[in-house]
Structure 1
Amino acid sequence: MRTRTLGRSGVEVSALGFGTAGIGGLYTPVTGDEARAAVDAAWDAGIRYYDTAPHYAIGHAERRVGAALADRPRDAYTLSTKAGRRLMAGPARPGDRDDSAHGFAVPATHHRVWDFTADGIRRSLHESLERLGLDRVDVLLLHDPDDHGEQAFTEAYPAAERLRAEGVVRAIGAGMNQTAMLTRFVRDTDVDMVLCAGRYTLLDQSALTGLLPEAERRGAAVVAGGVFNSGLLADPRPGATYDYTTAPPGLLERALAVKAAAERHGTTLRAAALALPLAHPAVAAVLVGARSAAEVRDCAALAAEPVPDALWQELRATGLLAPDVPVPEGGSA
């Protein structure tokens, strides 16, 4: 599988990355054996970039991916985790039995506390390493600092920068579902990368306005997450989700139109959704979540599938894709 570098860090990632929220039990339970099989399938498919976070299933995702990678050569893969939400023992509210309020089907053994202090960032990383059972992560990302912007820039980011300078991590950045603050990180700090979820897809190219040009200008990398827009671009149908809620009728119609065009050209909507972000020179990888070995193998096969140039031409001609959106050339990104 192709690899790309995260900015000037020297850290390499496979063009297809594995997001671990699913194996933590996002929405429905996933057993430990199923999680291990998913990571094994990712490895067998050539995926060498794995992303996790304390937030994902209140630590279960970190434990599971760490255990699955423990017997792999440590220099053979890149692992990122996040900081900003620390985990504390016990449920958030008396009587809470599970973590379903946050979308994860796991017992409420812990709860999250926002912490973007300098000390909190260091403690969060230390706690993540304990859960992972590994001696290091390669990338540390500030996780969803939307409502904690000033503290993230004045306390959390300098702490991450010091961790990088000390060699504790090799690359730093931020991960969010919006572009404005990510653009500020790229413009005003020395981040190596940002993880942008859902804002550079077949249905939403808002990252193209500010974030991606700024990242290209500054030499920072962008990892595109949420390329299926939480489900609509994977299986567009009535009731499908978009940004974690029911998709509006207009977006459903647009997704169905793109799907029909893809099928006319002998490919699939999902293959096109995976291919499009990688055509932008600032995008280093596409991150996909999978909860089973079958889903991993399916995504890997789709990512390797050539998408005909004629599809992109039709999408532009019909207004389903703006003319300034970079597209893969020669059938692949």
Structure 2
Amino acid sequence: MAENGTVVTDFVLMGFQLQGHLQTGLFLAFLAFYLITMGGNLGMIMLIHNDSRLHTPMYFFLSHLSFLDICYSSVIVPQLLETLRTDKMVITYERCAIQFFFFTLYASTECFLLAVMAYDRYVAVCNPLLYATAMTTQTCLGLVAAAYAGAMINSVVRTGCTFSISFCKSNQVDFFFCDLPPLLKLACSETGPREQVIYLLAFLVITISISVIAMSYVFIIRAILKIRTAGGKAKTFSTCASHMTAVALFFGTLIFMYLKGNMGKSLWEDKIVSVFYTVVIPMLNPMIYSLRNKEVQEALRKAFHRMRGFQAE
């Protein structure tokens, strides 16, 4: 443990302090979740790539969502598994900063990408005749590039502000990865101005994304209400239901985690919420989009039939 006035050169990730058999069970659970996440999201990417019927803007964005789920889960879960398996809890200062940077990058990109996907649904539902003209390949690539660029700016500034703080109270991080709230608790220098910038950026990323999503769905709902047949309404709404579910899960946890501020919070409560959006949501997204999407289901059936044909040969 670092004493006051001693510069921290590494951190100890305290993670989940449990008895041996409970820690083993937790390791196996997280390993299973991670393998399902990798398999589900890689499978979604391959399915979209191999089926020409899924070569549309909506599935182009969905493939990037699967890629992001793989990336930001992989930034956190392998470190957590190593800690649970070996009890080696030390992470260097540099590795901690890198983990923080890439987690912020991928999570921020996912915020913006979910907003882009809402805009795509808005164009498809409200301007179907102009959809092919509005959502060209160049437009889709530009929207994804903008999502990554905005996230990169956010990640660079947040990481710079966080790791320019002096950590000397302790090097024990009461968390399972290098996240903002537990790191701020170790600061011995004035964090006020930097903390304001950090939370302002979080507020802007989440608010801008949610505003685009909310405005898109206001127009989508208005368009759905104008459809005269119940079947037409249900069919149109079903094209947005998976996205709405993913948005509610992802932003619900982020708002709870980052917009509550740093005072009076339970780190154990934060751990549970963080497990949900770093481990559970990336695993659920492929299921959400496949269970409620007839085109994906048909592509899966086609892929299974093709695999059976290869095995028969």
Q: Answer yes or no: same fold by TM over 0.5.
A: no
Q: Give 1 or 2: higher strand fraction.
A: 1
Task: Give TM class, smaller chain.
Answer: under 0.3
Q: Give the number of the structure with larger relative contact order, counting CA–CA contacts within 8 Å between residues 6 or more apart.
A: 2
Q: Give 1 or 2: higher helix fraction.
A: 2
Largest Rg, 1 or 2: 2
